[in-house]
């Protein structure tokens, strides 16, 4: 099993290269680390972690980074994910930023370690998640409190598309606009798959952009894996002061490992099979090989060959499952 420690990630962060290329290699490394931490845990959610990874990287590393020393500063930027299952990805991004320790990252879903769903006891986690549909309400509560106390800092929340079948979501959209919480940013990780089936087959969300705009929001839509396009949207958001902002980020569940990507899986299967559970050792090594090859290609492109990949031999939990 392979893992790239944050001292190596810090080397990438310090490189004087194009920021989009830097984001791409960081996201690939964090996917490898997320895969390994899920494998070690014997359970977790690979598909949604991989679909959200690029958004986490851009928001936490490049746009709204909050260094460890500012985690309790009331003027800090606040970001959290409402959908919860992507916790392994968020934890590994926080590890890359030296906020979560090496010891903790290998205690995913273990007592005294990292909870399966985000919990505020973990450094860098701003809100507990678990029951779906509450994220926008929590985010607007944070922002309302900031405004009331005349404090600074942005509030950003990531949601899932299946989560939009919860009625509280629409109540929150409505009241956020009514209360003129115009500094609020909501991002939908729109990977189109709810657990193991297409969202549209469970409850079709229809014209999302038009629906959200009807509540008084400014809405943009872009490829959630294209850093240049994500950056462009956030730059545009910074100039819009009269409405809360919403990004529909079109993503791929399982992004980064070809045989896990829903766009390929669903061509041949009725259900998406990489939503939950650790892969078998065979599939783990297959996925690991794909990600390491991508990292090596990136290194060649940027002429950086000093990255050390650590081989670890932890005891793998027995509850991992074979997924076909």
Decide: 320 and 280 in contact? Cβ < 8 Å.
yes
Predicted local confidence at residue 321, as pLDDT:
42
Annotate 183-220 with b (16+ C-beta within 10 A) or e (fewer): bbbbbbbbbbbbebbebeeeeebeebeeebeebbbbbb
Q: Name beta bridge partners: 190.
A: 250
pLDDT of the chain, 324 residues: tens digit per residue? 999 999 999 999 999 999 999 999 999 999 999 999 999 999 999 999 999 999 999 999 999 988 888 898 999 999 999 998 999 999 999 999 999 999 999 999 998 899 999 999 999 999 998 778 899 999 999 999 999 999 999 999 999 999 998 889 999 999 999 999 999 999 999 999 999 999 999 999 999 999 999 999 999 999 999 999 999 999 999 999 999 999 999 999 999 999 999 999 999 999 999 999 999 999 999 999 999 999 999 999 888 888 899 988 756 555 444 333
Domain ranges of the chain: 2-311
Q: Name beta bridge partners: 222.
A: 249
Q: Which fold has domain 2-311?
A: Rossmann fold (3.40.50)
Q: Which of 37, 151, 171, 161 is nearest to 101 (CA)?
A: 37
CA angle, 25 then 53 then 313, to 5°:
75
SS3 130: coil
Predicted local confidence at residue 314, as pLDDT:
59
Structure tokens at 321: 């499952």
What is the CB neighbour count within 10 angstroms for residue 223?
A: 14
Q: Output the CA–CA distances (angstroms, integers) from residue 236 to 119, 136, 224, 229, 266, in the order listed.
A: 32, 21, 16, 11, 34
Annotate 288-311 with b (16+ C-beta within 10 A) or e (fewer): bebbbebbeebeeeeeeeebeeee
Predicted local confidence at residue 302, as pLDDT:
87
DSSP 52-87: HHHHHIIIIIIIS---GGGTT-TTS-EEEESS-TTH
């Amino acid at each position: 099993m392979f893992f790239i420690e944050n001292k190596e990630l810090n080397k990438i962060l310090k490189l004087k290269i194009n920021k989009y290329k830097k984001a791409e290699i960081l996201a690939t490394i964090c996917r490898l680390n997320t895969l390994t931490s899920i494998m070690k845990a014997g359970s977790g959610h690979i598909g949604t972690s991989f679909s959200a990874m690029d958004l986490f990287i851009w928001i936490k590393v490049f746009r709204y980074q909050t260094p460890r020393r500012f985690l309790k500063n009331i003027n800090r930027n606040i970001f959290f994910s409402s959908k919860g299952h992507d916790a392994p990805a968020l934890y590994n991004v926080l590890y890359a930023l030296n906020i979560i320790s090496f010891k903790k990252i290998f205690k995913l879903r273990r007592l005294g370690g990292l909870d399966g769903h985000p919990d505020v006891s973990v450094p860098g986690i701003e809100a507990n998640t678990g029951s779906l549909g509450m994220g926008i309400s929590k985010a607007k509560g944070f922002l309302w409190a900031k405004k009331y106390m005349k404090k600074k800092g942005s509030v950003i929340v990531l949601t899932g598309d299946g989560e939009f079948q919860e009625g509280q979501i629409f109540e929150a959209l409505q009241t956020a606009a009514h209360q003129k919480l115009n500094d609020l940013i909501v991002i939908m990780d729109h990977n189109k798959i709810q657990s193991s089936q297409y969202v549209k087959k469970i409850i079709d969300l229809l014209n999302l952009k038009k629906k959200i705009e009807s509540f008084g929001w400014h809405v943009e839509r872009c490829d959630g894996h294209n850093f240049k396009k994500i950056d462009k949207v956030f730059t545009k958001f910074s100039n819009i002061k009269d409405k809360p902002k919403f990004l529909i980020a079109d993503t791929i569940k399982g992004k980064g490992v070809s045989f896990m990507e829903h766009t390929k899986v669903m061509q041949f299967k009725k259900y998406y099979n990489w939503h939950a559970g650790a892969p078998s050792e065979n599939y783990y090594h297959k996925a690991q090989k794909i990600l390491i090859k991508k990292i090596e290609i990136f290194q060649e492109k940027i002429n950086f060959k000093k990255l050390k990949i650590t081989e670890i031999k932890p005891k793998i939990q027995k509850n991992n499952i074979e997924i076909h």
